[in-house]
Structure 1
Amino acid sequence: MDFPGQTPNVAIDLNDAGFYSSDFQTSTDSGQMATSPTGQISANAYRRANVGSAGKVLENNGFGWLLEVNEDEGDQIPLLEELDIDLTDIYYKIRCVLLPLPYFRMKLNIVRESPDFWGPLAVVLSFALLSLYGQLGVVSWIITMWFCGGFMVYFIARALGGDVGYSQVLGIVGYCLIPLVVTSLLTPIVSSFRFLSNFLGIFGTVWSVYSAGTLLCVDELQSKKPLIVYPVFLLYVYFYSLYSGV
């Protein structure tokens, strides 16, 4: 019933008029009613809306990329792969150094042609730790001799016409310390036998020199092999003297 002076209720359908309709959801949180849109905004838009005054200054000056977050979790690279560490490759190179004779049919050229850093570094650190005898400074000195001695061998090889790189020489010199690491582990066991202990040290040094000379002497250096082996021999004798204290 309509009363005099009262405006009748009129229902207007906005959907028929072509207006945009947004869906809203009403949720109850702690007894209070809240209205929020069901539509989702992108993470970047949400970030830009919440960067604050400092973030807006960066955005306006073209430094908005500093606030970007990598949302792609599927492209994460394993740590060993990211550091370029191939344990299988390192293991094979260790076998090449320990078994440099042609009888074992190892691909010795892989140590020279595919140099890496972490494998030789691990070998040099192992030798340095065995040479400690309570003196921590020996570690840094052995690493320094690895870099400097490797550079001297590289310089001589290049001067003689060898097609080798510094990283290749550094890797070969580092890997070829493995025989000295092996003999250094055995020396304390026979330390009571002076002659046997010295023999192990000499044997490990010759083993290292032979492996390094075989790996370093590429085709153009075969005729000049003694000129390469001699500085390598001096380098490994010095390494052994650091271990034995001679």
Structure 2
Amino acid sequence: MPSHDEFHFVHSSEQSTLEGAIEGGQKDTHTLSPGYGVRHRGFAGNFLESKGFGWLMEEDDTENQQQKPLLEELDIDLKDIYYKLRCVLFPLPQLGFNRKIVRDNPDFWGPLVVILLYSLVSLYGQFTVVSWIITIWVFGSLIIFLLARVLGGEVTYSQCLGVIGYSVLPLVIMASIMPLVQSFSIVSTLFKLIGVVWAAYSAGSLLCVQELQQKRPLLLYPVFLLYIYFFSLYTGA
């Protein structure tokens, strides 16, 4: 067995050099000038960091960089909505508008704005009209969708919801004109008829896809009745 005298420790120069390098590195970190990655956290920050909670003071820069405009976050394209409104207002194919975009690229915010505009025009101090019009829009579009599917049309509920909602715009225009011609019964009735036919033709021409060309009257008739009911909510008749 070796004796205790054979075991002895030797302090090498490499260990002292390493300790000196570590001590020198620690001293250098305290002498860094501000602006080189050193963040002054203050008393609260230093206290949390000493307790192991320094992560509470960290800031996530990636969230600020990924923030998008509000319209983009809500998926609102104003140019697209404006073009669709023009397609509804001018339903004749001779005018050169690509009206299929209203059906093939449906959105929610544009029809909702049109429905709310019609609700505001129809208010007359009765806020219950707003809920009625929105309800008729949602469930009326559902009925038109079911009828179109039964007749063999390849349309979706979102397409029907968008087309029916956008096509209320002619009723908004006529409802805005009605107070000016209300004293003339014949003219008033004519404007009502024009508004309903305008809206029904605009919606029906978009919803009558290729599969429904031979069955157009079967779909146009309920669409026409739906817009009559829409206008009756405005007139109270």
With the shorter chain as reference, the TM-score category is 0.7 to 0.9
Deviation at 1:133, TM superposition (A): 1.1
Q: Does 1:22 align with 2:28?
A: yes
- Kindly tell me: are residues 40 and 100 of structure 1, through their superposed partners in 2, closer, same or farther at Cα, counting changes over 3 Å? same
Residues 141-168 of structure 1: CA deviation (Å, up to 9, x unaligned): 1000100000000001011111111000
- What amino acid sits opposite 1:158 in the alignment? R
Deviation string, structure 1 residues 27-48 (Cα, Å, up to 9, x no partner):
9xxxxxxxx9x752699xx989
Q: CA deviation at 1:219?
A: 0.5
Instruction: Work out whether 1:92 is the aligned partner of 2:98.
Output: no
Q: 2:230 aligns with which of 223, 229, 239?
A: 239
Aligned twin of 1:117: 108
3-state SS, counterpart of residue 133 of structure 1:
coil
Superposed displacement of residue 193, structure 1: 1.1
Ranked by relative contact order (alpha carbons within 8 Å, sequence separation 6 or more), the top structure is 2
The answer for the alignment partner of 2:9 in structure 1 is: none
Which residue pairs with 1:71 in the alignment?
A: 61
What is the Cα deviation at residue 103 of structure 1? 1.2
The answer for the alignment partner of 2:182 in structure 1 is: 191
| 1:181 and 2:187 are equivalent in the alignment | no
Q: Which shifted more, 142-151 or 190-199?
A: 190-199
1:203 aligns to what? 194
Taking the aligned partners of 2:32 and 2:97, their CA distance within structure 1 comes to 73
From the superposition, tell whether residues 135 and 82 of structure 1 become closer, same or farther in structure 2 (CA, over 3 Å). Answer: same
When the two structures are aligned, how many residues end up with a matched partner? 215
Equivalent position of 2:155 in the other structure: 164
Distance 1:202 1:103 in 2: 23
Q: Please identify which structure carries the higher helix content.
A: 2
SS at match of 2:28: coil
What displacement does 1:51 show?
8.7
Match of 2:48 in 1: 50
**Does the alignment pair 1:40 with 2:38?**
yes
Question: What percent identity do the matched residue pairs reach?
Answer: 50
Q: Residue 220 of structure 1 aligns with which residue?
A: 211
Aligned mates of 1:52, 1:207 — CA distance in 2: 73
TM-score by length of structure 2 reads 0.80
* Aligned counterparts of 2:57 and 2:118: Cα–Cα separation in 1: 46
Deviations 1:2-41 (A, max 9, x none): xxxxxxxxxxxx99943423243599xxxxxxxx9x7526
Closer/same/farther in 2, CA of residues 42 and 208 from structure 1, 3 Å limit: farther
Find the aligned partners of 1:174 and 1:42 in 2 and give their Cα distance: 57
Q: Which amino acid aligns with 1:232?
A: V
Change in Cα spacing, 1:47 to 1:244, as seen in structure 2 (3 Å) is farther
Query: In 2, Cα distance between the equivalents of 1:51 and 1:136?
Result: 57
List runs of 5+ in structure 2 lacking aligned partners: 1-16
1:131, 1:100 → 2: CA distance? 24
What is the rounded CA distance, in whole Å, between the counterparts of 1:223 and 1:42 in structure 2? 77
Alignment-mate amino acid for residue 235 of structure 2: S
1:139 is matched with which residue? 130
RMSD: 3.4
CA distance in 2, matches of 1:192, 1:211: 28
Question: Secondary structure of the residue that 1:50 maps to in structure 2?
Answer: helix
Q: Distance in 2 between matches of 1:174 and 1:201?
A: 18
Question: What's the counterpart of residue 7 of structure 2?
Answer: none
Unaligned runs of 5+ in 1: 1-13, 28-35, 57-63
Q: What CA distance in whole angstroms lies between the structure 1 residues aligned with 2:229 and 2:96?
A: 31
